[in-house]
Structure 1
Amino acid sequence: MKSESIDRAEVFVVGPDTEKHAWAEGMAGQHMANIVLRLTTHGGLEGIAGAAMITSHGFDLSVGETLRYLLPEIMNQTAAEREGLWHRFRNLGTPQVPQAQSLIDIALWDMTARQAGLPLYQLLGGARHKILSYASTPLLPDNMAYIDYVSERQREGFKAVKFHCWCNPARDLPMCEAAAKHFAGSGMELMLDVEQRYDLEGALKVGKRIGELGFRWFEAPVPDTNFAAYREIKRRSAVPIIAAGNTWVDLQQLAAGIELDCWSALRVDATICGGITPLRKIMGLAEAHGMSVEIQCWGYTLTQAANLHVMLAYQNCTYFEQPVPYPAFEHGALDVIRTDKDGYVHAPSGVGLGIRTDWDAIRSSAILNFEVRPKK
């Protein structure tokens, strides 16, 4: 029906004046652009999505500019054609900025759930309505700052924290030991993410020790492309090993990594792997191998929401990644996702993604804004 076909796409690359954080020694505060896509049908039905692009020194426009050339492909198409559109974009032949395709797919899923009058997680399967959360920290100045920070999160209700730290084994390991000692017996789960910045020797040393300390997992110890190193680290470490999740995002790549026994769990992001359509396939691939998918959620509220809905639709994900401090990640959202006093995040209450957008805030902070309409 013509009323269900897409008649308009609006793109906003938003560069808000929010607090900027770093996640490794020597890293400047990062500029996190929020790329928001709004699709509208001839009949007025909307679908929205948001993805982050994180860069040093300034806000990146590449996702928005890529959308300028992809969006004409979906004009006069419908949300019911998601699978075909995903295959069309996947096989363009030239690599694209991954968030661009992801945004289109997520907006189509949001539109589909709105049309059905359902929250997206229920449309996708509805396995549960809440999931445990971990606080994902910024870089902090010293060991005591991390202990104080985790203590604050624990008082708020968090039962798990993931450290972003200096990414230097000589500094990271003493901090991990101090934190493990301080929170021993408190029920607080600890994870470590070193942003793919260790070499194999450092990763083996730290992996062995934090396994002894009972850490929940060790994330991104070396570059994701180094399958051989991941296999060796996993073989020689007691702690579960997962990748960063931004490099190997295709089914065939992930299947190869599983076959080589590189990881204890998979890690991807709906806004980077191509959207919810491929993420559903990845969830099934992992389940078939008895693995979880520890989905990352780093970004503004719309990014968090897309990933949360998938987590709630399936059983094989253990934690929601809650970026903190909250305000830096909530610009442009009238509904936000926060961890409750018992350590859980809950499904948004509205239909689709369930996030109402502050369009005035989005427009006022946009550094690139354009629309695409069907050719006459």
Structure 2
Amino acid sequence: MSISQFRITRFQFARDRVIGDSQVRIDDTNVAALELVSESGEVGLGFIQSLFYPLPDQAEIETVFETEVWPMIKGQKAIGLVHRVNRPRGGNQRAFSLPFHEALQVALWDLAAKEAGLPLHQLLGSRRDRVRAYASGLDFHLSDEAFRALFSYAASIGYTAFKIKVGHPDFQRDLRRLELLRESVPAGSLVMIDPNEAWNSKEALVKLTAIRDAGHDLLWVEDPILRHDFEGLRTLRHAVNWTQINSGEYLDMPGKRILLENHGTDLLNVHGQVTDVMRIGWLAAEMGIPVSLGNTFLEVGIHMAAALPEVEWLEYSFQNYDHLVETPIEIRDGYAYAPNRPGHGLVLSEDARREWARPVRLPTSKLGPAPKNDRLPIPQDLF
């Protein structure tokens, strides 16, 4: 059935803890639900995200979407849009005015899978329905006490792999955090670190050597240096033969292709743009490069992770989004499970629409307390 209408619901609420890395700090959640409705009444759901600044008022989001996106999809079938290739040229080569790209891909794929009567991961060609999940703290700005509490809790519920943020100007602080992690999780746990491009290539080599000499084994280091320093990444790959380089997070699809062609990473990091992820994932498979799924909104990335042959890991960061949907993605005993419901399995909660919709932008001081996060039952005053 053809797409006949759209709905946008704007949300704005406080996070239950500050998240961030060596470069950024984020205190609030600013998202809008995009629902594409077909003539049959099926609904495809995606989320428009703005990490650092509040989205404009809902009326403005709707106007921009109706102007820039709606003419391209109105009256079309979702299954006929998800693989469509455009040839951008000149002034046509530009992003949408608001961050619709990922939300649109997710909503279209959700709708296409529902119309086909299949879970999204099966429509994408999966042979499994679960992928190992690692606990990621987004912890750079947490106190040592909060850091310990978060990772101790993650270990207590079955996680065996953990990623922490490093890249502090005081390298001794990075080493101390690694020691705190070792004290907080079982012996033999897998450890990843993420400097978020805080280092240059020579600096990365020196610091990774110091980390190894301090007795810390690393499964990978993520985005150690600038994303476009393909020569530096390739050199670092060969120099640090005791760990792996995980990169590509900040690159668009053409950038990821160039990264692979330049042999600049051991693992390719992707996120939530379903069509883009599948295309670059197929290329990575041809080249024998493993893929890791970074944070995706409400863990929708489990579907791509289950479908791509080179994926071993999906990132989970205990963010307080679950109240937005009726049934979140199941994560237990260190595994994320792809829903067997048609589509991606996430349905916007009508309770959330009533209680948390914020059609008009609010100042941070007016947001009130954060929604409860049942997956991270740690006292809020700790954060």
Name the counterpart of 2:269. 267
* In the alignment, structure 1 residue 22 sits paired with structure 2 residue 19: yes
> Which one of 241, 248, 258 corresponds to residue 245 of structure 2?
241
Judged with a 3 Å threshold, the aligned counterparts in structure 2 of structure 1 residues 310 and 90 are, in CA distance, closer, same or farther, namely: farther
- Taking the aligned partners of 1:121 and 1:89, their CA distance within structure 2 comes to 29
- Which of these residues, 337, 341, 346, is aligned with residue 329 of structure 2? 337
Structure 2 gaps of 5+ residues are 361-383
- 2:210 is equivalent to residue 215 of structure 1: no
Equivalent pair of 1:131/1:346 in contact (CA under 8 Å): yes
Which stretch of the first structure deviates more once superposed, 342-351 or 13-22? 13-22
- Whether 1:308 and 2:307 are equivalent positions in the alignment is no
Hey, what does 1:366 align to over in structure 2? 357
In 2, the alpha carbon distance for the partners of 1:155 and 1:320 equals 19
Cα 1:184/1:80, change in 2 over 3 Å? closer
TM-score, normalised to structure 1, is: 0.83
Q: CA deviation at 1:97?
A: 5.8
1:47 and 2:44 correspond: yes
- Is residue 294–residue 318 contact of structure 1 (8 Å, CA) maintained in 2? yes
Alignment check: 8 A CA contact 1:89 1:101 kept = no
Matched, 1:100 2:95: no
CA separation of 1:145 and 1:364: change in aligned 2, threshold 3 A: closer
Alignment of 1:1-376 (within 5 A): 4-24=1-21, 27-55=24-52, 58-61=53-56, 64=61, 67-68=65-66, 69-83=68-82, 85-87=84-86, 92-96=92-96, 99-139=99-139, 141=142, 145-165=146-166, 167-168=168-169, 170-175=171-176, 177-179=178-180, 181-182=182-183, 186-210=187-211, 213-237=216-240, 238-243=242-247, 245-246=249-250, 248-250=251-253, 252-270=254-272, 275-299=273-297, 301=298, 304-305=299-300, 307-324=301-318, 326=319, 328-340=320-332, 342-362=333-353, 364-368=355-359
Report the residue type matching 2:196 in the other structure: E
- The one-letter code matched in structure 2 to 1:337 is I
Residues 1:186 and 1:35: Cα distance change in structure 2 (over 3 Å): same
Deviation at 1:144, TM superposition (A): 6.0
Pairwise CA distance, 1:16: 2.2
Q: Which deviates the most, 139-148 or 221-230?
A: 139-148
| More off after superposition, 174-183 vs 237-246 | 174-183
Deviations 1:178-217 (A, max 9, x none): 1475479723111111222223343222223445622111
Is this contact kept in 1: 2:166–2:174, CA < 8 A? no
Question: Taking structure 1 as reference, are residues 177 and 10 closer, same or farther at Cα in structure 2, changes over 3 Å only?
Answer: closer
CA distance in 2, matches of 1:12, 1:54: 17
| CA–CA separation in structure 1 for the residues paired with 2:202 and 2:324 | 43
Distance 2:8 2:17 in 1: 23
Corresponding position of 1:374: none
Work out whether residues 49 and 103 of structure 1, in 8 Å CA contact, stay in contact via their aligned partners in 2: yes
Alignment gaps of 5+ in structure 1:
370-376
**2:197/2:223 contact within 8 Å kept:** yes
**1:368 Cα shift?**
4.4
Bigger Cα displacement from structure 2, 27-36 vs 285-294? 27-36
Partners of 2:13 and 2:88 lie apart in 1 by 29
Q: How far did 1:96 drift?
A: 3.1
Tell me the alpha carbon deviations over residues 254-279 of structure 1, each in whole angstroms, 9 at most, x when there is no partner.
22212222111111212xxxx32222
Out of 160-169 and 150-159, give the one that drifted further. 160-169
Per-residue CA shift, 1:52-79, capped at 9, x if unaligned? 3210xx4234994753421222111111
Code of the aligned partner of 2:111: M
Identity %: 21
Q: Give, in whole Å, the separation in 1 of the partners of 2:126 and 2:114.
A: 15
Q: CA deviation at 1:218?
A: 0.5
Cα separation, 2, equivalents of 1:37 and 1:98: 12
SS at match of 2:18: coil
Residue equivalent to 1:373: none
Q: What SS is found at the alignment partner of 1:168?
A: coil
AA aligned opposite 1:329: Y
Answer whether contact 2:22 2:195 (CA < 8 A) is retained: no
TM-score normalised by the chain length of structure 2 = 0.81
